[in-house]
Amino acid sequence: MLLIRFFGGKGGVGKTTLAAAFALSRARSGLRTLVVSTDPAHSLGDVLDTALSDAPAEVLPGLWAAEISGERQARRRVAEVTEDARHAVPRDVLPAVERHLARAVDSPGTVESALLDRLTELVDQVGTEWDELVVDSAPTGHMVRLLTLPALLTPWIEGLARQRAKASDAERMVAGMIGDTADDEPDPLLQRLHARRERMEWMRTQLVTRALVHLVVVPERLPLAETVRAAESLTDAGLRLGAVLVNRVLPDDDPGLLGRRVDQQEEVLRRLTARFADHGVVAVPLLADALTGAGELGVLADLLAAADLA
């Protein structure tokens, strides 16, 4: 059963608005729906016209929302690893390890990994706390990295675990040679590495079997090229694509300058329809409203509900 939806695309194409509207349509259908933003430049709260935090909050009947801060999650994760290190690393090298971990908080890799950890926690709650999870993703490149990160991290974590196991074996051998057999406690770092590897393998399975990615695009040539590249990267990673959403489609009877843009958008729509024939293409018309708050989002939610996104 598909219970996780990702909305992604080039910055500025309206993916946050469409993700929020789709989540609203699901909540209106009676499903407990959580919509979260993983975009560092959060605008989900602006679209829903309410302040949001890392913790999901009910913003409308049946609809919860949150904005995940990768930086805050990274600080929390590094603090956990630092505490483990205090119990497993020799005292003379501990200050250097703590300094290294403190600097790691600002590393893009650490932030993305911590963001994935929080998203994994929310995915684990689908089916119990929520019926569906809708993710407003960061722009295309960040989204592709986030969705492919579980597959990339697993072998790296396995390598770290092997190295740590060898080091622990060597430490126990030396302790045995000098007659110190008192410290036979499990290695917390090794335990955490094994748990993290299993967690990444589980998340990878969830993404492949339960998730659908909707790419959002406006009917222009440059977003089209980026969308095609993103689709190839995602399918190569084993992820499934849902209907492509073409946002802000102009009516075809506008004269003058808009008429010339209509010609361009028709060319782009033809190319999208040919490229994504197996997934479907949904045209979302340009609407006059600002599309913020439940009232204005409701119009868009009705359009997406009628489209019955696959």
Q: Domain count of the chain?
A: 1
92-119 average pLDDT score:
68
Please, what's the largest Cα pairwise distance for the chain? Answer: 90
224: in domain? yes
In-domain check, residue 141 = yes
Q: How far apart are the first and last CA of the chain?
A: 12
Q: Specify if 183 maps to a domain.
A: no
**Mode of pairing for the β-strands spanning 63-67 and 57-60:** antiparallel
For 79-97, what is each residue's pLDDT tens digit? 666 666 666 666 666 666 5
Q: Is residue 156 part of a domain?
A: no
Among residues 279, 284, 280, 278, which one has the least CA distance to residue 265?
Answer: 284
User: In the predicted model, what is the mean pLDDT of residues 22-35?
Assistant: 96
Question: 85 lies in which domain range?
Answer: 4-148+211-307
176 part of a folded domain? no
Helix (H) or strand (E) holding 34: strand 33-37
Sign of CA dihedral 134, 135, 136, 139: negative
Top pLDDT among 200 and 92 is at 200
Q: What is the pLDDT of residue 173?
A: 47
Question: What does the block give as tokens for 30?
Answer: 């009676």
Residue 220 has pLDDT above 60, yes or no: yes
Q: What is the spatial distance between Cα 134 and Cα 116, in angstroms, rounded to a whole number?
A: 15
How many Å apart are CA 286 and CA 277, to the nearest integer?
Answer: 23
In this structure, the dihedral spanned by the alpha carbons of residues 76, 81, 86 and 89, taken in order and rounded to 10 degrees, is: -160
pLDDT tier, 143 (very low <50, low <70, confident <90, very high otherwise):
confident
Residue 273 inside a domain? The answer is: yes
Given pLDDT bands bounded at 50, 70 and 90, which one contains residue 67?
very high
CATH number at residue 13: 3.40.50.300
What is the pLDDT, as a whole number, of residue 162? 60
**pLDDT above 50 for 256:** yes
Tokens 């489209």 label which residue? 307
Residue 178 lies in a domain: no
Within-domain flag for 230: yes
Helix, strand, coil proportions of the chain in percent (round to 5)?
55, 15, 30
Rounded CA gap, 162 and 274, in Å? 48
**For residues 105-110, average pLDDT:** 62
